[in-house]
């Protein structure tokens, strides 16, 4: 999931111009390594990890995902978005640093919902309103295979639901209303390349 850049301007304007340009170059380089719509991988269902798969490969995958999420200035990233169809996502539910959740499942989702605009690192320049449960209880395992459980509310709950959707091949354009979907698809339509 992408940060809301509109709310970042105050902080950005305090950065020297060179640092801003460098952060933007790093962000673009990271985005180039993240699968972009309409990549078909984004529509596929990811597979659960077995007990024997909590190994160095998984650790390397999670490290790479956390680095890309950070560099792309996102607050969540699913393995599907780096072309790996396994049920793993990383997210930043609070200021305590990134967390990885393997084989995530929701034990509970509140009836109470909120509608907020969401972006996605795989759908650049798109922001659409999405209705999500306000509170969720998320269970899964960490990178070492230990059981984890998070009680999430607000933004943390929203990011977890967004990333879990990716593991089922579901995108924010599927979760918004018809008008916003049509407008988003217009933004996402490949621009004609001027070939001379």
* Helix, strand, coil percentages in the chain from 3-state DSSP, rounded to 5: 40, 30, 35
Shortest distance (Å) from residue 17 CB to Zn ion? 30
Total residues in contact with Zn ion, by rule CB under 5 A: 1
Least separation in angstroms between residue 171's CB and Zn ion is 7
The token pair that represents 189 in the structure block:
């339509």
Residue 46 as a binder of Zn ion (CB under 5 A): the answer is: no
CB of 103 within 8 A of CB of 140? yes
Catalytic residue numbers read 163
Minimum CB separation of residue 194 from Zn ion in Å reads 30
Nearest to 102 by CA among 154, 72, 57: 57
Enter the tokens of residue 111: 């009836």
Specify the residue, 53 or 170, whose C-beta has the smaller distance to Zn ion.
170
Q: Stretches 7-15, 18-26, 93-101, 115-123: which one binds Zn ion (CB under 5 A)?
A: 115-123
- Whose CB is nearest to Zn ion? 120
| Residues 6, 165, 36, 60, Cα dihedral to 10° | 100
Rounded Cα distance between 75 and 93, Å, is 8
Rounded to a whole number of angstroms, the minimum distance from the CB of residue 56 to Zn ion is: 26
User: What is d(CA 58, CA 70) in angstroms, rounded to the nearest whole number?
Assistant: 18
Per CB under 5 A, the segment of 91-99, 114-122, 148-156, 180-188 that binds Zn ion is: 114-122
Closest of 86, 160, 169 to residue 122, by C-alpha: 169
Cβ closest to Zn ion, residue 54 vs residue 82: 82
* CB-nearer residue toward Zn ion: 90 or 120: 120
**90 near Zn ion (CB under 5 A):** no
- Residue 79 CB, nearest distance to Zn ion (Å)? 12
Question: CA–CA separation, 89 vs 66, rounded Å?
Answer: 9
Are 161 and 133 spatial neighbours (Cβ–Cβ below 8 Å)? yes
Contact status: 120 vs Zn ion (CB under 5 A): yes
Residue 157's SS3 state is helix
Stretch touching Zn ion by CB under 5 A, among 41-49, 116-124, 128-136, 143-151: 116-124
Q: Give contact residues for Zn ion (rule: CB under 5 A).
A: 120
């Amino acid at each position: 999931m992408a940060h809301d850049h509109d709310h970042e301007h105050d902080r950005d304007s305090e950065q020297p111009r060179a640092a801003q340009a460098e952060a933007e170059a790093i962000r673009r380089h990271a985005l180039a390594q993240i699968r972009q719509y309409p990549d078909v991988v984004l529509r596929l269902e990811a597979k659960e990890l077995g007990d024997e798969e909590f190994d160095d490969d998984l650790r390397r995958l999670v490290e790479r995902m956390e680095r890309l999420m950070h560099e792309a200035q996102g607050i969540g990233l699913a393995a599907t978005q780096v072309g790996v169809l396994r049920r793993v996502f990383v997210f930043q539910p609070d200021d305590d640093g990134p967390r990885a959740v393997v084989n995530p499942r929701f034990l509970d989702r509140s009836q109470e919902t909120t509608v907020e605009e969401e972006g996605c690192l795989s759908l650049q320049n798109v922001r659409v309103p999405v209705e999500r449960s306000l509170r969720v209880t998320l269970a899964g395992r960490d990178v070492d295979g230990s059981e984890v459980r998070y009680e999430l509310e607000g933004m943390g709950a929203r990011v977890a639901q967004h990333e879990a959707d990716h593991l089922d091949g579901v995108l924010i354009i599927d979760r918004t209303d018809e008008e916003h979907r049509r407008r988003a698809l217009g933004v996402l339509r490949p621009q004609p390349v001027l070939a001379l």
